[in-house]
Amino acid sequence: MLKKELIIDALTSTTKKDTLRELSRIIFQDNPQYDSEKVVNVLLEREKLGSTGIGDGIAIPHGKLAMLDELVVAFGRSPEGIDFNAMDGKPVHLFFLLLAPESSAGVHLKALAKISRMLKDADFRMKLLHAKSTAELYGTISDKDDSC
């Protein structure tokens, strides 16, 4: 689900909106025809329904976009942690951003469920937090994805 070039080893953002912007920009960096601010607005609208900060230092922001043909996933890590209004009130360090076509409810929900299952594993979360490089992050996520 995740391409290596859509991983941000160390997010520079310090707010929810800027984090969503930073993750959206990496997805659309090679597609300047897409307006990343519109993407951020879609994600913020979803956040109004309830924070996608699910606790344990994890957030899975997600949204649907008419402009997409397939599901896209980006990952970002914040060593310092970001206030994302998480359910447990703690800062978020690990972000999986999912963007799906408007017509793909099934794929979108399956991807959310799979990522949620992966992140229930405390050892997996620790490996992500302590990975030394983008390559190590990608390998850790790929290995876990293959085993789920």
Closest CA to 79 of 59, 100, 93: 93
62 assigned to active site: yes
Residues 6+ apart with CB under 8 A from 41: none
Given the residues 62, 93, 108, 130, the one annotated as active site: 62
Pairing of strands 2-8, 72-82: parallel
Closest CA to 52 of 1, 116, 6: 116
* Helix (H/G/I), strand (E/B), else coil: 34: coil
Q: Rounded to an integer, what distance in angstroms lies between the CA atom of residue 110 and that of residue 104? A: 10
φ and ψ at residue 12, rounded to 5 degrees: -100, -10
Pairing of strands 58-59, 53-55: antiparallel
Residues designated as active site: 62
